[in-house]
Amino acid sequence: MARIIETRRLTPVTKYFRIEAPLIASSARPGQFVMLRVREGGERIPITIADYDRQLGTITIVVQEVGATTRMVCALGTGDDILDVAGPLGGHIDIAPGGHVCGVGGGFGSAALLCLMREFTARGDRTTAILGARNKELLILADELRPLCTHLEICTDDGSAGFRGFVTQRLAQLIEGGAERRPDSVVAIGPMAMMRAIAETTRASKVKTLVSMDPLMVDGTGMCGGCRVTVAGKAKFACVDGPCFDAHEVDFDVAMRRNKAYVQEEKQALDRVACLERRESR
Partner 1 sequence: MPIKRADKTPMPVREAQMRARDFLEVNEGYTKSHASFEAERCLRCQDPVCVGGCPVNVPIPDFIHAVAMGDMAGAARILRSANPLPAICGRVCPQESQCEADCSMTTRFTPVAIGHLERFVADWERTQPPAAGASLTRKEKIAVIGAGPSGLVCAGALARLGYPVTIYEALHAAGGVLRYGIPEFRLPKEVLDWEIGLLKTMGVEIVCNVIIGKTLTLDELFGKMGYAAVFIGTGAGLPQFLGIPGENLNGVMSANEFLTRINLMGAYDREKSDTPVRVGKRVAVIGAGNTAMDAVRTSLRMGAEKAMVVYRRSDKEMSARVEEYHHAQEEGVDFNWLTNPLEVVGNAEGWATGLKCQKMKLGEPDASGRARPIPIPGSEFVIPADNVILAIGTTPNPLLTRTTSGLLTNPKGCLVADEKTGLTSKPLVFAGGDAVTGAATVILAAGAGKRAAQAIHEALVERSREPVLAG
Ligand X SMILES: Cc1cc2nc3c(=O)[nH]c(=O)nc-3n(C[C@H](O)[C@H](O)[C@H](O)COP(=O)(O)OP(=O)(O)OC[C@H]3O[C@@H](n4cnc5c(N)ncnc54)[C@H](O)[C@@H]3O)c2cc1C
Cβ-proximal residue to ligand X, closest one: 67
Three-state secondary structure string covering the chain: CEEEEEEEEEECCEEEEEEECHHHHHHCCCCCEEEEECCCCCCCEEEECCEEECCCCEEEEEEECCCHHHHHHHCCCCCCEECEEEEEECCCCCCCCCCEEEEEEECCHHHHHHHHHHHHHHCCCEEEEEEEECCHHHCCCHHHHHHHCCEEEEEECCCCCCEECCHHHHHHHHHHCCCCCCCCEEEEECCHHHHHHHHHHHHCCCCEEEEECCCCCCCCCCCCCCCEEEECCEEEEHHHHCCEEEHHHECHHHHHHHCCCCHHHHHHHHHHHHHHHHHHHC
Total residues at interface with ligand X (CB under 6 A) = 26
Report the candidate in 141, 145, 27 with the shortest Cα–Cα distance to residue 90: 27
**Choices 18-26, 44-52, 152-160, 244-252 (CB under 6 A): range interacting with ligand X:** 44-52
**Choices 20-28, 158-166, 189-197, 224-232 (CB under 6 A): range interacting with ligand FES:** 224-232
Q: Residue type for 16, please?
A: Y
224 part of the interface to ligand FES, by CB under 6 A = yes
227 part of the interface to ligand FES, by CB under 6 A = yes
**Choices 137-145, 190-198, 200-208, 223-231 (CB under 6 A): range interacting with ligand FES:** 223-231
Residues 108-167 that bind ligand X (CB under 6 A): 108
> One symbol per residue from 235 to 254: x for binding ligand X (CB under 6 A), - otherwise; what is it?
--------x-----------
Task: Output 177 or 222, the one with its CB closest to ligand FES.
Answer: 222
Task: Output 174 or 255, the one with its CB closest to ligand X.
Answer: 255
Task: Output 98 or 222, the one with its CB closest to ligand FES.
Answer: 222
| Residue 48 touches which member of ligand X, ligand FES, partner 1, none, C-beta under 5-8 Å by kind | ligand X
| CB-based contact 91:236 (threshold 8 Å) | no
Q: How far is the CB of 260 from ligand FES (least distance, A)?
A: 17
Residues 161-220 that bind ligand FES (CB under 6 A): 217-220
| CB-based contact 125:93 (threshold 8 Å) | no
225 part of the interface to ligand FES, by CB under 6 A = yes
| Residue 33 touches which member of ligand X, partner 1, ligand FES, none, C-beta under 5-8 Å by kind | ligand X
Rule CB under 6 A: choose which of 73, 111, 131, 239 binds ligand FES: 239
| Residues in contact with ligand X by the rule CB under 6 A | 33, 43, 45-48, 61-64, 66-70, 108, 214-217, 243, 259, 263, 266, 269-270
